[in-house]
Amino acid sequence: MKRYDACSEAFIAGKPMAPDASLPEGMKTLLASLAAPANLPFARELWVENPAHLASQVSEPMLVLIGKKDIQTDWRADGDALQKATAKNGNATLSFPDNADHVLKYEPRLREDLVAAEVGARYNAEGRVLDSDALSAITDWLVEQSDGAM
């Protein structure tokens, strides 16, 4: 992790990253994607943001969805932080669909069987569909926000 942290610190400081060759392939891929020209304009800014802090400043109603099979976000840790941050405002609805992945599509496999490289490559694969619980959470929230006018 020291080599990864060093690369991350260089990135945040605006310096070029030189990922150590001994880093796992997934980490090297992540770091390279941050420095890709298409991502660079916003990657540094997003890398250091604290979503819970930002959410605590929102006064409008918001829906937060984190799939329990999202391997890029920890639904417990991130969900707890967002829940605590938004509790004071009382404007957030949080939902953690059991079988939704990072892009809220249905993932039938167990979370512990998911491999990052393969998961990312499948996000937009033909035949993948939005998780039904995620879809219900979205539509129910929209109906609630529109006072049942939908």
Three-state secondary structure call for residue 28: helix
pLDDT by residue for the chain (150 residues), tens only, comes to 788 888 888 888 888 878 888 888 878 888 888 888 888 878 888 888 999 999 999 999 999 999 999 998 899 999 999 999 999 989 999 999 999 999 999 999 999 999 887 888 888 899 999 999 999 999 999 999 998 555
Rounded distance, CA 15 to CA 18, Å?
9
Smallest Cα–Cα separation from 58: which of 96, 94, 86, 95?
86
In the prediction, which pLDDT does 29 show?
83
* Token reading at 146: 């529109």
For every residue of 80-116, which 3-state class applies, written as one string?
HHHHHHHHCCCCEEEECCCCECCCCEECCCCHHHCCH
- What pTM does this model have? 0.77
Three-state secondary structure call for residue 63: strand
Three-state secondary structure call for residue 19: coil
Three-state secondary structure call for residue 10: helix
> What is the CA 71 to chain-centroid distance, rounded?
8
